A and B are shown apart, each in its own frame.
Chain A
Amino acid sequence: MSAFIDARAVPSGQAVETDLAIVGGGPVGISLALLLAGAHFRVMLLESGALEFDEKTQDLYKGTLAGDAYLPLEASRLRYLGGSSNHWGGWSRPLDEADFEKREWLPHSGWPFSRKTLMPYFARAQALCETGSYLYDGVKRQLTEPEIALGEGGIDTRWFQFSKTKNDVLPTHFGERYANDLKRIGNLRVYVNANVTRLRLARDGNRLKTIKVATLNGKRFTVKSKFVVLATGGIEVPRLMLASNDVKRCGVGNENDLVGRFFADHPCPRDVGTLVIFDGRMPGYYLGTVPVRGTVMRASFTPREDYRLKHPVMGSQTTVEYRDELDAIGKAAVAATASALGVASSHAAVFALGCGLEPAPDPDRRLTLDHARDALGMPRLKLSMRINDADFAHYRKSLAELGRQLLAARVGMLRLNLKERGQWLEGLDWGNHHMGSTRMHVDPKQGVVDATGKVHSVDNLYIAGSSVFPTYGASNPTINLIALTVRLAEHLKGLFK
């Protein structure tokens, strides 16, 4: 077993060579390194942090915010081995088929491939994320307590699985979980405390020549690699590409002014609705996780695929959060409606609803370089955050549809709690899912990377992670970006044949 290399001990000015350099030791970088174990080429993993949280390293993430309120850039991610999986909630669900489709009503929609292309890679992704066997909506056939009946319509109950480590601790923290596995890989060298500060293009601008590494104790060295994969997440990848502007003023891969645009996260407005179930029976799997055949699962209300393709609604999920109470008007609404439907409501139960909202792609929700610099001299970022009223309106439509279907089935009803923009923004939380900022498209004018994840304009540079998502879905990105990484690993192996 070989120990990790502390980059702070590498002599300044040294040039280190490898065949494939992975920048970033988060879930993507670690997975890619594991997947390339035993390959006949040399792999190097460069991680900015070490094995534990360090304030000075975390400080490198700081940036400024403009526009709608968002989390401080250093608060929504973690910069040490395992990356943001160190605060991962473990929610997992493959993106829906509709997420990959071009929808006429939704500008910038459409992945370069369908869900079918990605499906073969989920088995391995499930194993890496430790989410158990692939069940998801297949669990419907095995339920002893039936799902809440809904009338025919656009919303259905859909299922999440949760990442689970061997010791039943939720969820998998990739650094802690796989550190020893990484040390056992013969063709891999892992550098910790190694911050990549610049991508150096060759003079013609079509190939990456070297990458520059700096440490917080003042060491600087270069890495020369045949291929480079950026796996530093949806904020740091565009930062590095934009800041590497010595050969091309626009930065690396930014000839069409796309790097940093289309940034997205999942807004999570609170208390979006009030759900009443007339007979009071709410299966526990809507309110929290339950074990099913060795996996951990939870149900949510989600727009159906066919509904999403025909109607202007996104994939936004509705979750049942906690028991609630009705005000006077709510009591009157339930009494009037239940009696008119001819059902009893004396045992009615009330629940608050939460949401994971999928925003529409927006080129002006954007990361740009700021004037301020970090301790390593790298420009910090400015995020111009924007949530459009249409994003809230799309979701409200889904929630109203759920309400209609509850009435049609005579099982319950719901109240839409938020209407005005200010109400949606009040107490708004975020999924910490950084997506879209180096989007994938077959056309270089519409995407930074091609369908394999290669940067269009740079022959030996790839990007892995949710920054390549052209649209975002409402499924949590981790399992999906790991599936994409499994696919990329196969592609990279092919390059060395």
Chain B
Amino acid sequence: MKLALSRRTLLIGGGVAVVAGVAAVEGPRLFRKRYAPSPYDDLLDKLDDRDACAQIGERALAGKAHFDADKVADTLRDRLHHRRLNRVMVEDAEQKRVAENAGWVMPETLSLLCALAAKAG
């Protein structure tokens, strides 16, 4: 029996499959909200919901007279180096590293990331 697919159909189908694959892998990154570059993007990229974090961070910064963003970023880089964010969050809570933002009890690392997100704008 002769195959019903023409060479043209095969090419088009293949092209669609490639585009769909790339979209699935890269889509979230490609369609993610763009922010102005900041010195802390390597850290802020770890946040799924940077806008929400920035909202919290604004509250956190309002209560701090001095906030050395670069120093905080260095601390966080050490803490998060080759480590998953969710693991560090749980570790924070277990080791009693928690902070209060607008009354919400949060892992300290997240609280600091939120402050950096607010700084970065």
Contacts and interface: CB of A to CB of B under 8 A. Distances in A.
A403 B102 contact: no
B6 interface: no
B49 A404 contact: no
Contacts of B100: 400, 416
B18 interface: no
Contacts of A339: 47-49, 52
A404 B86 contact: no
A417 B113 CA distance: 23
Contacts of A414: 104-105
B33 to A, nearest CB: 14
B119 interface: no
A407 B106 contact: yes
Contacts of A335: 49, 52
Nearest to B91: A408
Nearest to B59: A329
Contact of B105 (A330, A343, A416, A419): A416
Interface residues of B, number: 30
A416 B59 CA distance: 15
Given A340-B85, A340-B110, A342-B86, A333 B98 contact: no
Contacts of B107: 337, 340-341, 407
A62 to B, nearest CB: 40
Nearest to B102: A329
B93 A415 contact: no
A336 B90 contact: no
Interface residues of A, number: 31
Interface in A298-356: 328-333, 335-337, 339-343
B96 interface: yes
B93 A404 contact: yes
B89 interface: yes
B116 interface: no
Contacts of A486: none
Contact of A337 (B96, B102, B106): B106
Contact of B114 (A336, A404, A406, A415): A336
A413 interface: yes
Give the one of B52, B59, B105 with max A CB within 10 A: B105
Sort A-B residue pairs by CB-CB distance and give the 10 closest, nearest first: A403-B105, A342-B86, A408-B93, A407-B93, A339-B48, A332-B52, A332-B55, A333-B104, A335-B52, A415-B103
Given A336-B106, A342-B89, A407-B106, 11 more contacts: A329-B56, A333-B52, A333-B102, A333-B106, A337-B104, A337-B106, A342-B85, A403-B104, A404-B105, A413-B104, A416-B103
